[in-house]
């Protein structure tokens, strides 16, 4: 299948992509007395009020009361706290029904044996939250602890019930209303620069001439270099009729221009259309928001006027994730004059039936074909189900997502947050429950691919659906089977694929996320068009699909021929036939490198050969791999026709990603043959060894004297100065960093301007150091006496990173003593003497020097000397730590080395290959973490569960820089992602991860 590359896009007209379904805003405050009293308490101490409020709503409105299990909800709630707070551990003993909650060394035991109702859950959980909040060390906001606890609790109900914190709730409301004050363009980060992806026609951005690829350098004089994408979007949005000034670098001219735009109410385009050949209207409905049905009518009127009379409509609901219930009903009603649209099931089983309403504007007689896929969810499934069950239109495509639940959105009193709670389910007009099974199309179209590198014919269901979500509501019906299934061949331009890497630096594709697909190349659209033109879709009855059979067979035959021809070009005979005597075959699996032991970034070649040892012929022989490692799972090996005595070989070469973690997995090849004469399965194993990774450490320094700078050379920041921020980065890891990024974000003061916010160091070998300079301007208008900016240094291949906050003091008075030029050799009198960035001990230490070292001073004050550093930099040393050294030649002066201010802890394991097993139920894991200063703690995660924690707070001073650990780590069936996490006193994190795959008991017994 096409391997597409996706970029993170945050649209200024953000479209809620959560499978929200449909909701009603509720401001109900009729809580029971117990919870109402909790809300009314007004004390300075933080009260965990929302827990009680949410429990009350769940108790009264949740769709399936039998799923409310307070004990399990408590355990999952505490598990979520364990994940977000390092020092929290939770040990559950189901036999004694007790939970031990540890916060570092503080301990609390919770008896959950008597928790049977949500009120009892509320009391117990609130008590634990106070305990955690009082004893935690981690700087996490109390309200975030409460949100995590509630969402952990709700996750035990279903994957769609959730609490939105205020910020997320604001975004959610924009997605469902479809309107906000803004400029009307999609923006994204390209190479770290805020870039226009596409303006929307008729909006301020479109009228101002902004184009895809233009770079937004500043918003209202604030540089976007230091902004996150979310922050930039927030600045671009605002009240209608307010102005915003953008500095834009044109993609075409590469010049900057100032553009003043007036914000307007922006409507998210929810429906688009295009007139296809033969006067067939194509309509794409992307979601269901407040104006969807109105927009649909407008598009239909436009198509009707353009065509003079539509011969049919293709309604495309692919990747439509849902939205508002009322709008989904209105869209379905547009194509129906009678019949049921949907049945909603409320708590306690109460049903409500929504029926179509006859209207003069109905298109109930216009031929219609509906396209759905695995991304069609919620509202899209309402529409598809209504049109299918009412015999209004055939459905083509793929089985839908399978979300048959309804959520209600409830404002949580005076908090700005909201609860999205599952309060109902819906059934199709035939009373079919599609929860977790989806709506099957009448004609399923299955994509196939044939290239020299990969053949995909039978991996039919790679898509993520509702049934794959944890704790999804159970299905209560079996999924329907499509009337017919047709494989179609997707064209892959192999030459383009080969050249993709070569030209990707210079080729930036303009992306329009609201662009209608190329109708001539879209197989689904072309098949729908064929159905409309060659059949009478009006008056569709139960036998209608039988009448479509000739059209389906012609299409199927055409696509089968295309697939067979494509296979023939690869030397594969895909013909069929009968076998008189059952054939027997010998199979052989060869892995290169031998034993399947491969390193990350290398290639794994899988060769499978089949020899037909009998008189009979094998037809359409194929093999498919099975493995817990998705990289090698569901790989297809196509042999086709294998005649008597013939040996055929199929191969695949798999490029192991450079950032792969160490793991070992079983590999099984299962065979299939047209006449069911398949050879036996063959088994092997693949072991991947991770490459050593780079580890970054860094220092920083302010330079305020030199070309283009306007400082006074004292190493201290004053208002009005133009400075150089120098970053020093060293790779202290064992692996090379080939591609990396340095990003500066979240500048605390807008009166400070940073020239560049994103840079690259280039290749950084183990032990190698590099530096770079960034211009920094401190405006005269700055009133604060300090500012800060967040720094991230990341390797884009391995994902290793180090983050920290660079903090700067500002001398508002400029009175730090008079500097005079000098030229004096100095000798250091003590060991470990610090050299500072400026003539103040409040500035960062940039180096240390020892007794006997000689330095050369070029400036002095009453109590400081400025001394020369490497790369024409300078530092300051206290005059009471040195003496003037006579008779030393300046050529003999040694410039001190740069001090690494921020060095992350390093993790060393005692075992070299702990991943090299899938036969054990646990592994023993031990090692040591080391730091240049002090370790805070180390913990071990298995998947998302914390199984070990050790603090270092009671260590002696000499032992604080290292911490040993040992644990017997339990393994679950399947892949276990094991991560060792440690943090030092500078809040620098380090992680080491690998995967251990545990085979289920029956598989271990068989192997």
**Segment 44-54 mean pLDDT:** 83
Question: Per CATH, is 817-902 categorized as 1.20.58.760?
Answer: no
123-127, 495-499, 885-889, 959-963: range with lowest mean pLDDT = 495-499
Is residue 378 among the annotated active site residues? yes
The tens digit of pLDDT for each residue in 445-485 reads: 999 999 988 899 998 767 778 777 777 777 656 778 899 99
Number of CB atoms found within 10 A of residue 1001's CB: 10
Higher-scoring residue by pLDDT: 442, 459: 442
What is the predicted pLDDT for the residue at 179? 54
The tens digit of pLDDT for each residue in 906-945 reads: 999 998 888 887 778 889 999 999 999 999 999 999 988 8
Q: CB burial class (10 A; 0-12, 13-18, 19+) of residue 280?
A: buried
What is the predicted pLDDT for the residue at 203? 86
The fold of 585-689 is Immunoglobulin-like (2.60.40)
Helix axes 118-135, 49-61, angle to 10 degrees: 160
Number of CB atoms found within 10 A of residue 127's CB: 13
State how far the Cα of 826 lies from the Cα of 867, in Å rounded to an integer. 9
State how far the Cα of 811 lies from the Cα of 704, in Å rounded to an integer. 13
State how far the Cα of 339 lies from the Cα of 325, in Å rounded to an integer. 17
- CATH class of the domain defined by 271-493+517-557: alpha beta
Decide whether 585-689 matches 692-814 in CATH topology. Answer: yes
The tens digit of pLDDT for each residue in 968-1004 reads: 999 988 899 999 999 998 889 999 999 999 877 555 4
Does the pLDDT at position 507 exceed 50?
no
Q: What are phi and psi of 555, to 5 degrees?
A: -65, -45
Question: What is the homologous superfamily of the domain 692-814 according to CATH?
Answer: Immunoglobulins (2.60.40.10)
**Segment 746-773 mean pLDDT:** 88
**Segment 251-262 mean pLDDT:** 80
What is the predicted pLDDT for the residue at 895? 72
* Contacts (Cβ under 8 Å, ≥6 apart) of 692: 733, 734, 735, 766
CA atoms 157, 161, 164, 168: torsion sign: positive
DSSP string, 697-754: EEEEEEE-SSTT--S-SSSSB-TT-EEEEEEEEEE-SSS-B-SEEEEEE--S-TTEEE
Number of CB atoms found within 10 A of residue 454's CB: 15
Banded model confidence at residue 502, pLDDT cuts 50, 70, 90: very low
Mean of all residue pLDDT scores within the chain: 85
- Placement of tokens 């006859």 in the chain: 358
Contact 150, 51 (CB under 8 A): yes
Number of CB atoms found within 10 A of residue 580's CB: 8
Banded model confidence at residue 43, pLDDT cuts 50, 70, 90: very low
What is the predicted pLDDT for the residue at 1001? 58
Tokens in use for 750?
Answer: 């807008």
Max Cα separation, the chain? 108
Banded model confidence at residue 669, pLDDT cuts 50, 70, 90: very high
Strand-pairing partners, residue 997, are 975
Does the pLDDT at position 707 exceed 70?
yes
Q: Where are the domains of the chain?
A: 3-43, 46-157, 179-267, 271-493+517-557, 585-689, 692-814, 817-902, 906-998
What is the predicted pLDDT for the residue at 987? 87
State how far the Cα of 288 lies from the Cα of 379, in Å rounded to an integer. 7
What is the predicted pLDDT for the residue at 29? 32
Query: What percentage of the chain reaches a pLDDT higher than 90?
Result: 54
- Compute CA distances 477 → 382, 404, 460, whole Å: 17, 12, 22
Does the pLDDT at position 688 exceed 90?
yes
Does the pLDDT at position 758 exceed 90?
no
Banded model confidence at residue 887, pLDDT cuts 50, 70, 90: low
State how far the Cα of 984 lies from the Cα of 980, in Å rounded to an integer. 14
Q: Which CATH number fits domain 179-267: 2.30.42.10, 3.10.110.10, 1.10.3720.10, 3.40.640.10?
A: 2.30.42.10
**Segment 212-217 mean pLDDT:** 85
State how far the Cα of 678 lies from the Cα of 526, in Å rounded to an integer. 37
Helix axes 544-569, 523-533, angle to 10 degrees: 140
**Segment 879-902 mean pLDDT:** 78
The tens digit of pLDDT for each residue in 543-568 reads: 778 888 999 999 999 999 999 999 99
Return the CATH architecture of domain 906-998: Sandwich (2.60)
Cis peptide before 743 (omega within 30 of 0): no
Is residue 5 among the annotated active site residues? no
3-state class of 494 per DSSP?
helix
Number of CB atoms found within 10 A of residue 458's CB: 14
DSSP code at position 192 = T
Does the pLDDT at position 883 exceed 90?
yes
Banded model confidence at residue 39, pLDDT cuts 50, 70, 90: very low
Catalytic residue selected from 403, 641, 693, 730: 403
426: left (phi over 0), alpha (psi -120 to 50) or beta: beta
What is the predicted pLDDT for the residue at 890? 53
State how far the Cα of 666 lies from the Cα of 632, in Å rounded to an integer. 10
The tens digit of pLDDT for each residue in 352-379 reads: 999 998 886 778 889 999 999 998 998 9
Catalytic residue selected from 104, 364, 373, 389: 389
Banded model confidence at residue 22, pLDDT cuts 50, 70, 90: very low
Which of 3-17, 27-41, 934-948 is modeled with the greatest confidence? 934-948
What is the predicted pLDDT for the residue at 888? 56
Catalytic residue selected from 378, 400, 415, 885: 378
DSSP code at position 67 = G
The tens digit of pLDDT for each residue in 140-194 reads: 889 999 999 999 999 999 988 999 888 777 766 655 554 567 888 888 877 667 8
What is the predicted pLDDT for the residue at 19? 33
Contact 681, 1003 (CB under 8 A): no
* Contacts (Cβ under 8 Å, ≥6 apart) of 892: 854
Higher-scoring residue by pLDDT: 30, 354: 354
3-state class of 572 per DSSP?
coil
């Amino acid at each position: 299948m096409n391997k597409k590359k996706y970029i993170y896009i945050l649209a200024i007209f953000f479209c809620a992509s959560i499978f929200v379904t449909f909701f009603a805003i509720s401001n109900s405050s009729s809580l029971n007395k117990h919870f109402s009293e909790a809300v009314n308490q007004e004390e300075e101490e933080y009260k965990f009020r929302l827990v009680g409020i949410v429990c009350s709503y769940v108790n009264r409105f949740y769709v399936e009361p039998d799923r409310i299990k307070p004990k399990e909800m408590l355990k999952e709630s505490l598990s979520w706290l364990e994940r977000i707070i390092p020092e929290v551990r939770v040990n559950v003993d189901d036999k004694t029904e007790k939970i031990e909650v540890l916060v570092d060394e503080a301990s609390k035991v919770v008896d959950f044996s008597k928790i049977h109702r949500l009120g009892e859950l509320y009391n117990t959980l609130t008590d634990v939250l106070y305990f955690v909040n009082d004893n935690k060390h981690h700087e996490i906001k109390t309200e975030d602890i409460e949100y995590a606890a509630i969402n952990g609790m709700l996750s035990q109900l279903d994957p769609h019930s959730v609490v939105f914190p205020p910020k997320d709730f604001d975004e959610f409301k924009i997605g469902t209303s479809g309107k906000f004050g803004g400029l009307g363009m999609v923006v994204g980060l390209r190479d770290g620069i805020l870039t226009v992806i596409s303006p929307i026609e008729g909006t301020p951005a479109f009228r101002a001439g902004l184009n895809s690829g233009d770079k937004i350098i500043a918003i209202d004089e604030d540089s976007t270099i230091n902004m996150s994408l979310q922050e930039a979007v927030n600045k671009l949005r605002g009240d209608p009729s307010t102005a915003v000034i953008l500095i834009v670098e044109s993609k075409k001219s590469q010049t900057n221009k100032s553009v003043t735009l007036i914000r307007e109410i922006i409507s998210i385009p929810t429906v688009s259309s295009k007139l296809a050949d033969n006067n067939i209207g194509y309509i794409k409905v992307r979601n269901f928001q407040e104006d969807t049905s109105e927009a649909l009518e407008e598009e239909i009127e436009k198509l009707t006027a353009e065509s003079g009379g539509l011969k049919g409509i293709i309604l495309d609901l692919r990747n439509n994730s849902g939205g508002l219930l009322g709008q989904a009903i209105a869209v379905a009603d547009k194509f129906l004059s009678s019949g049921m649209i949907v049945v909603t099931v409320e708590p306690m089983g109460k049903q409500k039936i929504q029926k179509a309403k006859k209207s003069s504007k109905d298109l109930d007689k216009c031929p219609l074909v509906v396209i759905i896929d695995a991304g069609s969810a919620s509202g899209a499934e309402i529409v598809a189900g209504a049109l299918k069950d009412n015999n209004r239109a055939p459905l083509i495509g793929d089985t839908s997502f399978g979300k048959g639940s309804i959520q209600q959105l409830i404002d949580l009193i005076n908090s700005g947050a909201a609860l999205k709670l599952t309060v109902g389910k819906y059934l199709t007009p035939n009373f079919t429950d599609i929860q977790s099974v989806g709506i099957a199309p009448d004609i399923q179209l299955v994509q196939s691919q044939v290239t020299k590198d990969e053949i995909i014919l039978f991996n039919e269901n790679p898509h993520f659906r509702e049934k794959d979500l944890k704790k999804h509501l159970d299905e209560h019906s079996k999924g329907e089977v499509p009337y017919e299934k047709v494989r179609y061949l997707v064209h892959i331009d192999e030459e383009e694929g080969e050249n993709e890497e070569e030209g990707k630096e210079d080729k930036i594709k303009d992306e329009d996320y609201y662009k209608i697909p190329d109708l001539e190349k879209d197989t689904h659209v072309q098949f729908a068009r064929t159905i409309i033109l060659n059949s009478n879709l009006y008056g569709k009855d139960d036998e209608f699909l039988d009448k479509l059979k000739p059209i389906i067979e012609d299409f199927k035959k055409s696509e089968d021929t295309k697939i067979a021809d494509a296979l023939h070009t690869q030397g594969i005979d895909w013909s069929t036939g009968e076998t008189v005597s059952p054939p027997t075959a010998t199979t052989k699996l060869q892995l290169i490198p031998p034993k399947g032991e491969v390193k990350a970034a290398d290639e794994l070649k899988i060769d499978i050969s089949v020899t037909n040892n009998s008189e009979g012929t094998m037809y359409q022989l194929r093999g498919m791999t099975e493995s817990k490692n998705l990289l090698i799972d569901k790989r297809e090996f196509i042999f086709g026709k294998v005649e008597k005595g013939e040996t055929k070989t199929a191969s695949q070469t798999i490029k192991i990603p450079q950032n792969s973690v160490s793991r070992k997995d079983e590999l099984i090849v299962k065979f299939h043959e047209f006449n069911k004469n398949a050879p036996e399965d063959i088994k092997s194993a693949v072991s991947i060894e991770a490459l050593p990774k780079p580890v970054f450490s860094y220092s920083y320094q302010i330079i305020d004297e030199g070309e283009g700078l306007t400082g006074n050379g004292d190493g201290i920041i004053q208002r009005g100065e133009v400075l150089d921020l120098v970053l020093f980065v060293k790779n202290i890891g064992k692996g090379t960093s080939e591609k990396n990024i340095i990003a500066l974000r979240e500048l605390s003061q807008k009166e400070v301007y940073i020239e560049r916010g994103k840079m690259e160091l280039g290749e950084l070998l183990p032990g190698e150091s590099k530096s770079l300079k960034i211009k920094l301007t401190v405006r005269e208008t700055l009133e604060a006496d300090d500012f800060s900016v967040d720094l991230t240094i990341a390797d884009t291949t391995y994902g290793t990173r180090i983050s920290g906050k660079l903090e700067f003091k500002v001398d508002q008075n400029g009175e730090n003593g008079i500097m005079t030029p000098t030229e004096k050799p100095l000798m250091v009198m003590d060991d470990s003497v610090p050299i500072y960035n400026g003539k103040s001990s409040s500035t960062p230490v940039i180096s240390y020097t020892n007794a006997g070292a000689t330095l050369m001073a070029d400036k002095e004050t009453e109590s400081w000397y400025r001394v020369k550093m490497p790369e024409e930099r300078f530092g300051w040393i206290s005059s009471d730590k040195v003496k003037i050294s006579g008779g030393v030649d300046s050529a003999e002066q040694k410039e001190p080395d740069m001090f690494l201010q921020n060095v992350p802890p390093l993790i060393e394991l005692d075992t070299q290959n702990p991943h090299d097993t899938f036969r054990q139920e646990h592994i023993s894991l031990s090692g040591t973490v080391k730091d240049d200063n002090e370790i805070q703690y180390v913990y071990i995660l298995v998947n998302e569960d914390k199984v070990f924690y050790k603090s270092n707070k009671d260590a002696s001073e000499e032992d604080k820089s290292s911490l040993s650990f040992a644990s017997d780590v339990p393994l679950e069936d399947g892949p276990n992602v094991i991560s060792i996490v440690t943090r030092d006193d500078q809040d620098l994190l380090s992680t080491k991860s690998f995967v251990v795959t545990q085979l289920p008991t029956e598989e271990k017994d068989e192997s």
